[in-house]
């Protein structure tokens, strides 16, 4: 069986990583006294629950379990899956594409030892859902005239011609569901690592609210 090609060139074939819980934001000061916004992420309880290879799955990847949960509170199929790797109870799973899955072992713990201060990483998460939003909030459209007599304050305007084509083209920017989407931030810098508390401090802001799960991928 042939391996599936890696389409995303940004991701290194050895792009292992961890999953963490977003604690919130704060700021730190550098040597020049400049305030830098940072996001604190709690990295705890990530273990390898499955090793996927070209021979068995068609591609090389590592499945990482995170979010500890009692085995008795999991479904029977999930308990059986975790028992194969000898891991504890977990409620969430994710994958990292790797080149040599044989370099890893079932049940292996993934900790902050994978990272170092100053390293660049890629962070993926789910943005905050904002429900149904209008065209201005969703797409940053300009408003109409606010003068007396104007009947176009926040209207979207024309959405297409009448006779030809006589329909609205797919993908037209209109009002609709805003947020609750997968967002990836690339090349963010690690500013601080606290191994005793399993806390990672990354420069800038990241998608989602507190307690959201973020996927942090190394960039070799």
Percent of the chain predicted with pLDDT > 90: 68
* Whole-structure pTM value: 0.85
65 class by beta-carbon count within 10 Å (0-12 exposed, 13-18 middle, 19+ buried): buried
Tell me the C-alpha to C-alpha distance, in Å, between residue 46 and each of 42, 62, 79, 96, 117.
Answer: 11, 12, 17, 12, 20
pLDDT digits (tens, 9 = 90+) for 23-74: 999 999 999 999 999 999 999 889 999 999 999 899 999 999 998 888 888 8
Question: Can you tell me the distance from the alpha carbon of 161 to that of 119, in angstroms, rounded to the nearest whole number?
Answer: 51
The tokens describing 127, both together, are 């943005």
pLDDT digits (tens, 9 = 90+) for 161-217: 988 889 999 999 999 999 999 999 999 999 999 999 999 999 999 999 999 999 999
* Burial per residue of 173-194, b for 16 or more beta-carbon CB atoms within 10 angstroms, e otherwise: eebeebeeeeeebeebebbebe
Question: Can you tell me the distance from the alpha carbon of 184 to that of 127, in angstroms, rounded to the nearest whole number?
Answer: 10
pLDDT band per the 50, 70, 90 thresholds, residue 12: very low
Domains of the chain: 1-129+184-220 (2.40.30.10), 131-178 (no CATH)
């Amino acid at each position: 069986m042939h391996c599936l090609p890696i389409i995303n060139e940004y991701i290194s074939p050895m792009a292992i990583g961890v999953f963490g819980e977003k604690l919130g934001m704060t700021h730190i000061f550098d040597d020049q006294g400049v305030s830098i916004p940072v996001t604190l992420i709690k990295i705890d309880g990530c273990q390898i629950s499955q090793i996927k290879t070209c021979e068995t799955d068609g591609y090389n990847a590592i499945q990482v379990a995170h979010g500890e949960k009692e085995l008795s509170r999991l479904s029977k199929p999930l308990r059986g899956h975790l028992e194969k790797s000898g891991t504890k109870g977990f409620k969430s799973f994710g994958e990292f594409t790797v080149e040599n899955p044989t370099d890893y072992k079932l049940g292996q713990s993934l900790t902050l030892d994978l990272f170092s201060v100053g390293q660049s990483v890629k962070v993926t998460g789910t943005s905050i859902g904002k429900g149904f939003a209008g065209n201005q909030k969703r797409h940053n459209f300009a408003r109409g005239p606010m003068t007396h007599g104007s009947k176009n304050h926040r209207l979207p305007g024309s959405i297409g011609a009448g006779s030809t084509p006589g329909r609205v083209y797919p993908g037209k920017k209109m009002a609709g569901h805003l947020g609750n989407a997968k967002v990836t931030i690339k090349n963010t810098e690690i500013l601080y690592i606290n191994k005793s508390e399993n806390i990672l401090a990354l420069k800038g802001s990241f998608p989602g609210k507190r307690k959201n799960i973020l996927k942090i991928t190394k960039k070799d």
